[in-house]
Structures are given as C-alpha cells and as structure tokens.
Amino acid sequence: MSRTIYFHHSARIFAILFLLLIFVTGLIFLGAVSVAFANIGFTPMTVFLILACTLFGSTINIPLMKIKTVVPIIREEYVRYLWVTYRIPYVEYETAVTTVAVNVGGALIPSAVSLYLLSKAEPLMIFYSLIGVATVALFTYAVAKPVKGVGIVTPAFLPPLAAAAIALFLSPAQPQIIAYVSGVLGTLIGADLLNLSSIPKLGAPIASIGGAGTFDGVFLSGIIAVLLVGL
C-alpha cells in the first residue's frame, strides 16, 4: 500500500527559512567578532575593515616557493598464462610539486593585528603573550594532523581553548590581548610552521600557510579565545 507524505510547507518556504537561518547565523558570527575585537580595543569601523579584509584575503594565497618530492605509486600489471591471470604489482616513482603559499586572510592579517597589539602593550604583557604563543604552539603542534592530499588539518576549537586557559592563568585581570595573540600566532606556528617538514609527504598541489585546513584554526582561535576569557 502506497503512502502519501504531506508537507505543510512548500519547498519555497523551506528555502526561505534556510536562507533566513544562514542570515541569522551570519549576524551572530559578525556580532561575536565585533565583541571580540572591541574587547581588545578596536573601534567598530576598524573591526569592519579587519573583518572585510580577512574574509576577502582568505581567498588570496601568495606563493612563496615550490617543493619537489618523489612519490611512490603502486601500479598493477596482469599476465595471462595457461588460462590463468596473474596480477603483478610494481612501484613507479613520480615527481610531485607542492607550492608553498601564505594566505592573506588566514595568516598575514591576523599576524599583523597581533603585532600591532604587542606594539601597544606593556613589556610584562608582551612577555606573557610570548609565553602564551609558545604554549599554544606546542599544544597545536601536538593536535595538528598532516592529511595526505589536503595539508595540515587543525581542530578548530582546541587551540582557542588552550589560548584562553593560558591567558587566564598568566593574567586573570587583563587576559584579552594574551588570548588573541596566543590564539593566532600560536596556532599559526604550531599548525603550519612547525609542520613545514611534513609538506613534501602530503602530495598536495598547494600548501597554504594559514589557508585551507588551518584558516578556521588561525582566524577563529583569536576570536574565540577572546570571547572565552570574556565569559
């Protein structure tokens, strides 16, 4: 017996509701970013410029160098003898080229913001921030995973949790700058720079510092870390 499933709303209504959900989620995200940057001393106009440049810059990769590596590829050959087919595997070696690039939105802009904050900070705050960067870098290096054909993949929420924790430990009264700088630079160093030696083994056509795989880790680490210490 066939059954007819009746939907109270048409597909057009579902599409409108889905777009509305995306819009509301975007507003919440922009609001969270604005609050995070406001907590570290930026004006609303500066926040808008940083966010716009970051999102636009996330599509731009600046090539730095090319790395060539020999990759073994297993192939198969079939030989038929006396009505029996034999499979003979053999190995061929091909040269793979990986372009190492730096992502503008995921590396350069967050790093520039971090350096600006450090230039305005007191010597003790700079010292604490450097400790935070080293701590988060080591932690991120431990959890980052090189994925063949993709690059270095970093869990999005672990580095900011580490950055927020070390910032609150070092300076409970003023943890915002430490949290942001540690989240950004620590993630960038731990995920990408400390894994440069693994790039030739990945076989990816492009390895972007601060790009795919770590853009969410670098960009969001600073934002989420500041929001966490604000709680």
Cβ within 8 Å of residue 155, ≥6 positions away: 143, 217
Q: Which residues of the chain have pLDDT under 50?
A: 2, 4-9, 27, 213-215
Is the distance from CB of 88 to CB of 76 less than 8 angstroms?
A: yes
Closest of 86, 40, 3 to residue 223, by C-alpha:
40
Enter the tokens of residue 206.
């492009």
Per-residue burial over 109-125, b = 16 or more CB atoms within 10 Å of its CB, e = otherwise: bbbebbeebbeebeeeb
Maximum Cα–Cα distance across the chain: 83
What's 195's DSSP letter? Answer: G
Tokens of 38: 């406001």
Looking up tokens 């540690």 gives 182
Residue with tokens 């672990």: 158
pTM for the model: 0.73
- Kindly report the CA angle at 218 between 24 and 54, in degrees rounded to 5? 60
User: Tokens standing for 197?
Assistant: 């030696």
Amino acid 214: pLDDT: 47
Q: Do 211 and 103 contact (CB within 8 A), yes or no?
A: yes
Q: Give the residue carrying structure tokens 């430990």.
A: 169
Query: What are the pLDDT digits (tens) for 74-127?
Result: 777 777 776 777 777 777 777 777 788 888 888 888 899 899 888 888 889 999
AA identity, residue 89: P
Q: Give the tokens for residue 105.
A: 């939105």
Tell how strand 206-209 and strand 151-153 pair up: unpaired
CA 22 to chain centre: 21
What was the pLDDT predicted at 132?
Answer: 93
Q: How far apart are CA 84 and CA 101, in angstroms?
A: 51
Count CB-CB contacts under 10 A for residue 88.
9
